[in-house]
Amino acid sequence: MTTVHPHDAVEVIRTKRDGGAVSESALRWLIEHYTKGYVSDAQMASFAMAVLLRGMEREEIRVMTDAMIASGERMDFSSLGKPTVDKHSTGGVGDKITLPLAPLVAAFGVAVPQLSGRGLGHTGGTLDKLESIPGWRAALSNDEIMAQLADVGAVICAAGSGLAPADKKLYALRDVTGTVEAIPLIASSIMSKKIAEGTDSLVLDVKFGSGAFMQDIDRARELARTMVALGTDSGVNTTALLTDMNTPLGLAIGNANEVRESVEVLAGGGPADVVELTVALAREMLTLAGQPDADVEAALRDGRAMDVWKRMIRAQDGDPDAALPTPRETHTVVAERSGVVTRIEALPFGIGAWRLGAGRARAEDAVVHAAGIDLHVTVGQPVTAGQPLFTLSADDGARFDRALGAVEGAWEIGDAVPAASPLVRERITA
């Protein structure tokens, strides 16, 4: 018997192509039947392009996000008996904030279920960084996640395939059809997974600048507002911070070296910008979890956050005290003149680390955990001729030329100290 469908994919595409709003029942039908394979990749690609060109209304984005959530399972942390709060970053160069942040927030009795991903291209993946720790494993069952949250309070692991499978399918399609940049699709992709994850509260770190997904601050603000609205409409307490990603975050860009830098922060040290953003996001998360007066800096100073970090790594079979991978080859670039560092551009340094082996070009590629770039200077710092500026690390010295090509012209030494710009630019609420 032939199934009679209440909607037609071509009609949905035409509606959006002509700038109309797609009805709730049609949108839900489209997402459900794309997940099942009835709506073809070609049709969904046409719809995605129409969204990129025509946009979507707030209610359409809400319905599409909800339909993507409904395509899979929803996690439920209510049995933990404590508030849950998560953080999502739109990704950048040297962004290792999740690593010190999750144990820091958990040190205050809040559960932090941080379901993370892998890197692709110049933005590193949290799981890739953590996998440089000997023995550590990313894949946990839902029961293991619940047990670890009840015991340790923090978990950083891979999201299960059961969460928003519609998004996984649509994300892969957007990647190869030039529709990645559509704000409604970015927002529904991120938020479908985060809402399905079942957390009470969510803080978004939305980056702008040369090393960010959204280079323009106005576009980043639009994305942040769209995602905060989606979370709020779904009953998740959601706020966002707009943060600057024109310069790499911290001094380490890679995998093992970013773990080392994260541990420095947990030990009460580390680069000032990494500490600043970790503290700002922790305060935001703890405020949503009902602890606006928590002394976050004290938990870094007195070792409480470090204790949770070690327990979290051990719970996932990692050895927090083991030596991290070191590179076979290094190459250091020095200053050709004396002066002040006026510019270090994030994107070229991200691409340089990727070319050294720290990232992957295809999802199935392996990363080299010891590869990456270590900066020895920051913007605004005086330098003398011959002083080391940064060191490239790789397991294969043949990679250095292409990495040096990527970063050529991406830093500058001048005579005047540049004006400082704030790392956290805005806070966006419902």
Domains within the chain, CATH numbers bracketed: 9-70 (1.20.970.10), 78-160+168-322 (3.40.1030.10), 329-414 (3.90.1170.30)
Can you read off the two tokens belonging to residue 201? 């509260």
CA distance 159 to 306: 24
Q: Which of 132, 189, 201, 393 is catalytic?
A: 189
Q: Which of 28, 88, 122, 207 is catalytic?
A: 88
Catalytic (active site) residue 174: yes
Q: What angle do CA 144, 132, 423 make, to 5 degrees?
A: 95
Q: Which of 96, 118, 174, 369 is catalytic?
A: 174
Q: What is the distance, to the nearest Å, from the Cα of residue 302 to the centroid of all Cα atoms in its chain?
A: 28
CA distance 136 to 114: 15
Give me the residues paired with residue 134 across strands: none
Give me the residues paired with residue 93 across strands: none
In whole angstroms, how large is the CA radius of gyration of the chain?
Answer: 22
pLDDT of 125: 86
DSSP 119: -
Catalytic (active site) residue 193: yes
Q: Where does 234-383 have alpha helices with state H?
A: 256-266, 272-288, 296-301, 304-315, 346-353
pLDDT of 118: 78
pLDDT of 5: 78
Q: Which of 28, 193, 207, 355 is catalytic?
A: 193
Q: Mean pLDDT of successive 10-residue segments in the chain (430 residues)?
A: 76 96 96 93 95 95 95 92 95 94 98 85 83 96 95 93 86 83 91 93 96 91 96 95 96 97 97 98 98 97 97 98 97 98 96 92 82 97 98 96 97 94 95
Catalytic (active site) residue 427: no
Q: Which of 95, 128, 167, 205 is catalytic?
A: 167
CA distance 348 to 254: 13
pLDDT of 1: 57
- Distance, first Cα to last Cα, the chain: 48
